[in-house]
């Protein structure tokens, strides 16, 4: 009613405030002209229109809310699946550090973990939009399972979990696609075998994989809901790549350890190339092994050590001290240990293998220490082999000097000469090896050099077997501390002339024989058998050098050799065999045995025969008695000259000199001596001819002008005969007469050669010659000597005889031998063929002689 009344107040064309200014076209009269005012609508129609509009808005709001709820519902419904897929495909996990800080007895590892989470760009964009709508996305504390994912094992395969790691709550970085994390957490060990295998491979491999899985609670900003995501990620970790870069410093072998072996200490450095993995080991036991030379052979353990506070921090060189002891050497490890020690003493670095050990250096078989290192870690490191360079000794000149004394050179063997002598070596122990050692054998290989600057040796000396030795340690008084004196005897070691060394060898021998002093330089190597707490080892290739200075023989001139006796052994048709005794003084300090020698014999520069010395051996500093056999050539005028002068002058002072020369075509059985001996000569003086003279005495018969000679053979053991005689007798300065006889000329009435038997020689007694009287030999007297003979009538006088005699010694002929003999007693007699028959006539004859 009021509405109607009100409307009734306004003209038809008048509009109220509720009326629309623009009438919808549906209500307009289409036939009405443009600009005309439409007729006023009825009020009921207007209200219906309003109610229709309100319903439409309500429907729209309800629809939007319902869709939003539905969308949010589905978003929340599918959020875990979407998150898992997003984490799997768009989230990257990486560790920058995973350090084991501590391992407790209850199998809990304290770890320091540093890493980052990186989102793919599309996922990061979605995160930023989500952050603007709902706030920061984060995760709650979680416990995740950690697996060792081997490359050869499928991810889906069932592998044991190493343990659980606790992750703290973490918010994703809203301003960057990278979210860093750094926390210390606990790692609960589930399977020690799996963890042991991981640790072992982590040390060896260049890259190693972790598989991390488990429920991860994701908080979606301010939304009251959280999403549980099933995390399953494989994370690549940088491994230690075998710890290939290692270092060992200050290695010292100290002294005998109470439990056996030698105590040792060193500083070891190990570079951990991994920037991710670090490992704190603490006090850890390790074994040191020598690598086997066989492909399938076993390493030989030589020592056990304990690392003190060992720490393998990532991407750095880690140094720590180790102490321990060596172990007894087994038979299988003997050769390896000898090679190792030899290389060590030469200063060479040797690679040794180091790996974890179940036993410590102070452990005994029945008493082991309790290690703070967990068993699984020890087991893991026992299977990890690390190659460590074992440095060589800082001082490599172990043999400071080597001297040879009491040298004996023996050429008597038909093969190589032999050398004997006392060897004295002064050894200086390396600073790292000051424990007690005994050298029980040496086996030197000596090279001889003629001069200090000789480019190559001329000879070598090497014993056919090792030489026994003894050693004493330096006491700081007679020997410096840290040194050793080793003495040994080199016995008959072969002396070999090197190819091309013959000339220098001959010069060496020349120096020995002719010079007052001689030097020879030596270099070489020696093996040594050493007994110590380290074991009984043969150390090889110990280098040495030195000089041997000797006294020479000075040409055998100071003093010259002497012939102490000379005896004829037998006369042969072509040679006279003579046995002589030589006395040679050696001023040298070298014992030289040239063995059997064939040498030439010269008199006054002329060859008269050859000699054989069965053994020319000269001991130093004493007179050496030698037996020499000589053969004087037959039909040789110089031999006759020598024999004549010798047996003639032998009655007085002897001044005859013989020369012995090595210029013989077969001077020595040793091929090394022949060239040298060609130039070797020395002079000898025959002894005074002290045998009974050939002419014992003679009887001169004046009236018959004959001589009866009393002769004897002065040479023991041989038969002598006089064939011819041409002699003259002299009294003082007067020649008495001459005589001549050819006993071989039977036509002249001779009975044949005058045979003189050898003297009787009882053992131990002086030989007594058998005197044989000759037939009467006519003598042609001289006037000047006749007065002396007349005065000696019935008595005797001393005369001298010069003769030229042809004699035979056994079958050896000496023709025209010049023989002179002084102080011969001549008995003067008037006896003769007429005198003996008529004494009265004899008196008349004497009266006639006096008258004359």
Domains of the chain: 80-241 (2.60.40), 242-362+372-390 (2.60.40), 399-552 (2.60.40), 555-684 (2.60.40), 695-851 (no CATH)
Lowest pLDDT segment from 39-48, 324-333, 821-830 = 39-48
pLDDT digits (tens, 9 = 90+) for 423-438: 999 998 888 888 888 9
Mean pLDDT over 210-233 rounds to 79
Mean pLDDT over 482-511 rounds to 91
Two tokens, residue 675: 């060239």
Model pTM?
0.66
First-to-last C-alpha distance (Å) of the chain: 240
C-alpha distance from residue 104 to each of 67, 358, 381, 818 (Å): 57, 19, 18, 120
Is 740 within 8 Å of 725 (Cβ atoms)? Answer: yes
Mean pLDDT over 720-735 rounds to 85
C-alpha distance from residue 555 to each of 138, 569, 585, 630 (Å): 109, 30, 11, 22
| Residue 242 Ramachandran class (φ > 0 left, ψ -120 to 50 alpha, else beta) | left
Task: Say what the pLDDT of residue 786 is.
Answer: 64
Phi, psi of 747 (to 5 degrees): -70, -25
Residues 6+ away with beta carbon under 8 Å from 666: 598, 674
How does 173-189 read in b/e, with b if 16+ C-beta sit within 10 Å? beeebebeeeeeeebbb
Banded model confidence at residue 154, pLDDT cuts 50, 70, 90: low
> Which DSSP helix (H) or strand (E) runs through 43?
helix 43-90
Banded model confidence at residue 14, pLDDT cuts 50, 70, 90: very low
| β-bridge mates for residue 220, sequence order | 137
Q: Of how many residues is the chain composed?
A: 852
Banded model confidence at residue 685, pLDDT cuts 50, 70, 90: confident
Residue appearing with tokens 């003493």: 345
| β-bridge mates for residue 781, sequence order | 737
Lowest pLDDT segment from 148-157, 185-194, 216-225, 411-420 = 148-157
Mean pLDDT over 7-19 rounds to 40
DSSP-derived letter for residue 27 is G
Residues 6+ away with beta carbon under 8 Å from 748: 742
State yes or no: cis peptide before 451, omega within 30 of 0. no
**Cα distance between residue 55 and residue 531, in whole Å:** 114
DSSP-derived letter for residue 85 is H
| β-bridge mates for residue 408, sequence order | 420, 591
Task: Say what the pLDDT of residue 359 is.
Answer: 86
Look at residue 848 and give its three-state secondary structure: helix
Q: Quote the strand ranges of 477-555, DSSP E.
A: 483-497, 517-532, 535-551
Two tokens, residue 559: 């003093």
Is 416 within 8 Å of 493 (Cβ atoms)? Answer: no
Q: What share of the chain is helix, strand, coil (3-state, %, to 5)?
A: 20, 45, 35
DSSP-derived letter for residue 555 is G
Is 19 within 8 Å of 43 (Cβ atoms)? Answer: no
pLDDT at 792 over 70: no
pLDDT digits (tens, 9 = 90+) for 65-101: 565 555 554 444 445 554 555 555 667 778 888 888 8
Task: Say what the pLDDT of residue 77 is.
Answer: 47
Higher pLDDT, 51 or 377: 377
- In 627-744, alpha helices (H): 637-649, 674-677
Q: Quote the strand ranges of 561-641, DSSP E.
A: 562-571, 575-585, 591-593, 597-603, 606-613, 617-618, 623-633
Is 297 within 8 Å of 365 (Cβ atoms)? Answer: no
Is 300 within 8 Å of 338 (Cβ atoms)? Answer: no
Higher pLDDT, 94 or 617: 617
Q: Sign (positive/negative) of CA torsion 477, 479, 483, 489?
A: negative
Residue appearing with tokens 């025959």: 686
**Cα distance between residue 630 and residue 171, in whole Å:** 119
pLDDT digits (tens, 9 = 90+) for 305-350: 999 888 888 889 999 999 999 998 888 888 888 888 888 888 899 8
Q: Which among 351, 355, 385, 350 has a CA at the least distance from the CA of 242? A: 385
Higher pLDDT, 505 or 77: 505
Residues 6+ away with beta carbon under 8 Å from 15: 21, 40
**Cα distance between residue 694 and residue 683, in whole Å:** 28
Task: Say what the pLDDT of residue 228 is.
Answer: 77
Burial class (CB in 10 A: 0-12, 13-18, 19+), 252: middle
C-alpha 849: how far from its chain's center?
A: 103
Residues 6+ away with beta carbon under 8 Å from 194: 147, 148, 159, 160, 161, 162
pLDDT at 638 over 90: yes
């Amino acid at each position: 009613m009021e509405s109607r009344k009100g409307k009734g107040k306004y003209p038809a064309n008048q509009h109220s405030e509720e009326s629309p200014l623009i009438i919808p076209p549906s209500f307009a009269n289409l036939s009405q002209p443009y600009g005309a005012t439409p007729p006023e609508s009825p009020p009921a129609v207007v209200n219906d229109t309003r109610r229709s509009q309100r319903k439409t808005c309500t429907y729209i709001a309800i629809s939007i809310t319902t869709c939003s709820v539905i969308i949010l519902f589905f978003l929340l419904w599918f959020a875990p699946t979407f998150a898992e897929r997003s984490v799997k495909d768009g989230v990257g996990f990486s560790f920058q550090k995973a350090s084991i800080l501590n391992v407790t007895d209850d199998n809990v590892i304290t770890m320091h973990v540093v890493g980052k989470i990186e989102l793919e760009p599309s996922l990061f964009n979605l995160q930023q939009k989500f952050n603007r709508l709902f706030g920061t996305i984060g995760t709650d504390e979680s416990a995740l399972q950690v697996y060792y994912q081997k490359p050869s094992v499928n991810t889906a395969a069932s592998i044991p979990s190493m343990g659980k790691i606790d992750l703290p709550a973490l918010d994703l970085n809203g301003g960057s696609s990278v979210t860093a994390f750094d926390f210390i957490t606990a790692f609960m060990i589930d399977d020690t075998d799996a963890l042991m295998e991981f640790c072992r491979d982590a040390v060896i491999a260049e890259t190693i994989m972790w598989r991390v899985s488990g429920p991860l609670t994701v908080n979606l900003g301010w939304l009251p809901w959280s999403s549980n995501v099933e995390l399953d990620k494989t994370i690549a970790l940088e491994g230690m790549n075998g710890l290939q870069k290692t270092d060992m410093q200050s290695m010292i072998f100290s002294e005998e350890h109470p439990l056996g072996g030698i105590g040792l200490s060193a500083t070891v450095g190990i570079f951990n190339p991994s920037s991710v993995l670090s490992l704190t080991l603490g006090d850890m036991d390790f074994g040191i092994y020598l690598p086997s030379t066989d492909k399938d052979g076993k390493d030989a353990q030589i020592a056990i050590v304990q690392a003190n506070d060992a720490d393998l921090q990532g991407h750095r060189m880690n140094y720590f001290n180790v102490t321990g002891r060596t172990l007894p050497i087994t038979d299988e490890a003997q050769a390896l240990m000898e090679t190792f020690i030899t290389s060590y003493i030469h200063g060479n670095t040797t690679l040794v293998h180091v790996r974890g050990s179940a036993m410590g250096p102070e452990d005994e078989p029945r008493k082991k220490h309790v290690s703070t290192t967990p068993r699984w870690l020890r087991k893991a490191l026992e299977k990890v082999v690390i190659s460590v360079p074992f440095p060589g000794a800082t001082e490599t000149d172990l043999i400071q000097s080597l001297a040879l004394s009491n040298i004996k050179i023996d050429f008597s063997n038909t093969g190589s000469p032999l050398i004997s002598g006392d060897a004295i070596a002064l050894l200086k122990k390396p600073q790292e090896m000051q424990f007690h050692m005994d050298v029980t054998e040496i086996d030197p290989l000596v090279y001889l050099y003629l001069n200090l600057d000789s480019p190559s040796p001329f000879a070598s000396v090497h014993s056919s077997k090792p030489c026994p030795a003894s050693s004493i340690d330096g006491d700081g008084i007679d020997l410096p501390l840290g040194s050793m004196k080793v003495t040994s005897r080199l016995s008959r070691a072969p002396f070999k002339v090197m190819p091309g060394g013959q000339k220098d060898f001959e010069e060496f021998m020349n120096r020995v024989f002719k010079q007052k002093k001689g030097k020879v330089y030596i270099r070489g190597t020696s093996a040594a058998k050493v007994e110590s707490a380290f074991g009984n080892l043969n150390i090889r290739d110990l280098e040495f050098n030195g000089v041997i200075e000797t006294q020479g023989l000075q040409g055998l001139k100071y003093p010259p050799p002497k012939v102490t006796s000379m005896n004829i052994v037998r006369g042969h048709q072509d040679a006279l065999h003579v046995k002589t005794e030589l006395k040679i003084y050696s001023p040298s300090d070298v014992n030289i045995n040239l063995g059997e020698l064939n040498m030439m014999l010269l008199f006054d520069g002329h060859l008269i025969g050859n000699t054989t010395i069965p053994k020319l051996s000269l001991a130093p500093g004493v007179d050496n008695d030698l037996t020499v056999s000589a053969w004087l050539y037959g039909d040789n005028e110089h031999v006759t000259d020598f024999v004549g002068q010798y047996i003639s002058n032998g009655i007085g002072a002897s001044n005859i000199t013989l020369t012995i020369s090595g210029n013989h075509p077969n001077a020595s059985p040793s091929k090394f001596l022949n060239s040298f001996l060609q130039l070797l000569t020395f002079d000898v003086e025959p002894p005074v001819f002290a045998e009974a003279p050939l002419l014992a005495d003679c009887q001169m018969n004046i009236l018959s002008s004959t001589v009866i000679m009393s002769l004897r053979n002065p040479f023991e053991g041989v038969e002598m005969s006089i064939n011819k005689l041409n002699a003259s007798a002299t009294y003082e300065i007067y020649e008495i007469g001459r005589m001549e006889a050819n006993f071989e000329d039977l036509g002249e009435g001779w009975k044949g050669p005058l045979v003189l038997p050898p003297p009787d020689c009882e053992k131990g007694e002086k030989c007594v010659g058998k005197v044989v009287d000759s037939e009467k030999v006519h003598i042609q007297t001289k006037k000047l000597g006749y007065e002396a003979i007349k005065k000696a009538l019935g008595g005797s006088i001393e005369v001298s005889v010069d003769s030229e005699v042809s004699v035979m010694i056994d079958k050896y002929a000496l023709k025209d031998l010049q023989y002179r003999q002084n102080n011969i007693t001549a008995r003067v007699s008037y006896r003769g063929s007429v005198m003996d028959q008529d004494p009265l006539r004899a008196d008349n004859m004497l009266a006639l002689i006096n008258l004359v």
